[in-house]
Amino acid sequence: MKTSNRFDNAIKKLYTAFHNNTLNPEDCKQCAVGNILDHKDSWKHLTDIHGSIRLNYVGLVHQNLGRKFNGYSPLELLQIEAAFLKACGYDLGRSFCHKPEKPMTKDILFKGLSEVVSKLCELDGQSDVMDCSELFDFNAIKQML
């Protein structure tokens, strides 16, 4: 499968962060987007609410000017982060982002990472590499036999 440079770079950074224990939804430099953007937290100024996919004035200016950050538009970055937080158990609302009560475990972070990878595939218009349903498609297996 042919993938984009932005996808490949993002996956490498997220994989490294996960295995180095530097994937952290509580730190804007170590969350999904923070890792994609080389541990910078300037992306947090694109919205007023952590976890929101609503651009603020600064975000809209960057979006309307066609700016890209490591290949991703401001709106795409917010979508990536929202997917990560939601999969990690955060309650996302229009005016808030509530932390989950459960502590972050490797399993929860893996769910977040998996959702981010799915979102990155969606943004690039490619099939979801995290979808293993075809592996368990018994009708397809029967046809092959």
Query: Tokens standing for 139?
Result: 């009708």
Nearest to 82 by CA among 73, 91, 71: 91
Confidence of residue 54 (pLDDT cuts 50, 70, 90): very high
Rounded (5°) CA angle 49-39-17: 105
Across 51-65, 72-86, 100-114, least confident range: 100-114
Per-residue pLDDT of 84-138, as tens digits, reads 999 999 888 766 666 777 778 999 999 999 999 999 999 999 887 766 666 566 5
Beta-carbon neighbour count of residue 106 at 10 Å? 11
